[in-house]
Amino acid sequence: MMSNSVDVEAPKVVLLSGVSGSGKSIALNALEDAGYYCVDNLPPQLVDSLLDVAALAGHRRLGIAMDVRSAASLDELPALTRRMRARCDLHFVFLDCSTETLVQRFSETRRAHPLTSRVLHQWEPGKPLPGSPPALIEAIELERELLAPVASLGLHIDTSGLRPAQLRTWVRQAVGVDAAQMTLVFESFAFKRGVALDADFVFDVRMLPNPHYDPALRAFSGRDEPVADFLRGQPAVVRMQDDVQGFLERWLPALAEDQRSYVVVGIGCTGGQHRSVFLAEQLGRKFAVRYRVLVRHRELDASLTTTTPRLEH
């Protein structure tokens, strides 16, 4: 396991980054609602000063957002996060999103992409444009290139299919764990809605027996006892769980030694309701005895209420 020498009285800092339109404002607001002192678009050069000022003011929890608006300084982020870990309990969260969803969001809000508006803001009436503004998709892809060096510094969250309330919940869960220990995230998803962009490993379980085709089980999820009992009785499901568990048991120690703070394991089935949910829950319980574990369900979590009984934990 990774160790950390940060003092127990050190401030807790959440460093947010990600592509424009991925939900950073929502995440930062969630932190502010949880009692964090938040600063948006802070240049990396000012982080040390902010930590000093926050300490004098008695702020013990800070939320900081950095993104392409400080593009000239993004190369400093990897070294900056290493320095910050020596003086604070640091959580780095990177928000990502599919290009298709980003285009839709910018179209709905009618806001310009930062890399597009930057060129326009440099223009003065009566003078030629200092370069053609990039089209939206071009701006999105350029932003991905600029952010590539920092995208793997911490927890990666794909917000493509998430509701705002769902993102707020996931962010609060992520920063609620101990940053000094590697956190293992099991995420179920539906292939029909796209592969989870935030997964380090993806396991396809669509070949397993599907409770959806049993009318008595269709309305339940993989967290409900009737579906869980059905899947536990399927030899193929047991073999799949053993195989995934064996793979992770072999390679997670190497990832921990490589100073990885988060590892996201995506488990996908057709609808993201039964098989993937069941396996994410089961694997989460297996590994919770050795790792900090978060279990999240992309499709189920999109519905904030449920009318079916849950498994006892």
pLDDT by residue (tens digit) across 143-160?
888 888 888 888 889 998
Contact 14, 63 (CB under 8 A): yes
Model confidence pLDDT, tens digit, residues 266-305: 999 999 999 999 999 999 999 999 898 999 999 987 764 3
Distance CA 150, CA 214 (A): 45
Average pLDDT along the chain = 84
The residue ranking higher by pLDDT, 4 or 230, is 230
The domain defined by 12-174 carries CATH number 3.40.50.300: yes
Q: How far apart are CA 248 and CA 245, in angstroms?
A: 5
The more confident residue out of 43 and 248 is: 248
The pLDDT, as a whole number, for residue 178 is: 64
Quote the pLDDT of residue 249: 96
Has residue 220 got a pLDDT over 90?
Answer: yes
Distances (CA, A) of 183 to 67, 106, 111, 144, 253: 24, 33, 35, 25, 12
Report the C-alpha gap between 235 and 241 in whole angstroms.
Answer: 10
Q: What is the mean pLDDT of residues 116-126?
A: 53
Please give the pLDDT value at position 5: 46
In this structure, of 101-105, 107-111, 225-229, 244-248, the range with the lowest mean pLDDT score is: 107-111
Looking at per-residue confidence, does 67 or 24 come out higher? 24
pLDDT category of residue 127 using cuts at 50, 70 and 90 = low
pLDDT tens-digit map of 154-180: 888 999 888 898 899 888 888 886 666
In the chain, CATH 3.40.50.300 covers 12-174
Give the residue with greater pLDDT, 103 vs 117.
103
Give 71's pLDDT tier (boundaries 50, 70, 90).
low
